[in-house]
C-alpha cells in the first residue's frame, strides 16, 4: 500500500533540509519570526523537534524533509573558511 511506502523508520540521511543552506531551525530564530509563540509554547519545546524554515519554498517543515532544490550548506553557502559539522 502506498501509505506504508511513505513511512520511514529512523532519521533521514543524505540531502535533507537539515543540511540545506535554505533551512533555518534555531529556536531563537523561530521565536523571533513567530512573536506569539512564546505566549503559550516555546521554540525550545520537544514538540517542535528539529523543524524549521525553508527560505526557498517558504515553508515551515521537518529537518528530515527534502526537495529537488537542495543546496548544501558547505558549498554555495559556505561561510568563509568555516566548515559545518553535522
Partner 1 sequence: MTTNDSETSGIKSSGWKEFWSKEDWWAVWLGLGIVCLAYIFYLAGSSISWIAVAPAKWSTLSQLATQFSKNGIKYVALLAACLIVFTTVVSFVGQKPKAFIPSFIFIFIFSTIIYVLGSWDQANRYNLEPPLMALALGLFISNVIGLPRWLDAGFRVEFFIKLGIVLLGATLPFTLIIWAGPVAILQASIVSLVTFLTIFFVARKLGLDHRLAAVLGAGGAVCGVSASIAVAGAVRAKKEHPPIAISLVVFWAIILIFLLPLVSRVLHLPTGVAGAWIGTSEFADAAGLAAAQSYGNLAGTHLGISGTAEQALASYTLIKVIGRDIWIGIWSLVLALISVTVWERSETNSKVQIGQIWWRFPKFVIGFLIASVLTTLIVHGNTLADYNKLVKPSLIIPITALRTWVFTFSFLSIGLTTRFRELAAAGTKPFIAFTCGVIVNVALGYVLSIIVFGHYWSAIVTH
Which positions lie near partner 1, rule CB under 8 A?
2-3, 5-12, 16, 18-19, 21, 23-29, 33-42, 44-53, 57-68, 73, 77, 79, 81-86
Taking the complex as a whole, the smallest distance from the CB of residue 5 to partner 1 amounts, in Å, to 8
Q: What are the Cα distances from residue 58, in Å, to 6, 40, 55? A: 23, 24, 5
Taking the complex as a whole, the smallest distance from the CB of residue 75 to partner 1 amounts, in Å, to 13
User: Going by C-beta distance under 8 Å and a sequence separation of 6 or more, which residues neighbour residue 77?
Assistant: 21, 71
How far, in Å, CA of 66 to CA of 63, rounded? 8
Taking the complex as a whole, the smallest distance from the CB of residue 65 to partner 1 amounts, in Å, to 5
Amino acid at each position: 500500500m502506498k501509505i506504508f511506502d511513505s513511512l520511514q523508520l529512523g532519521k533521514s540521511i543524505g540531502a535533507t533540509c537539515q543540511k540545506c543552506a535554505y533551512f533555518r531551525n534555531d529556536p531563537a530564530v523561530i521565536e523571533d519570526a513567530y512573536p506569539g509563540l512564546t505566549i503559550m509554547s516555546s521554540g525550545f519545546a520537544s514538540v517542535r523537534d528539529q523543524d524549521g524554515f525553508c527560505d526557498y519554498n517558504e515553508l515551515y517543515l521537518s529537518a528530515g524533509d527534502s526537495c529537488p532544490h537542495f543546496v548544501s550548506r558547505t558549498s554555495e553557502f559556505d561561510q568563509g573558511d568555516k566548515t559545518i559539522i553535522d
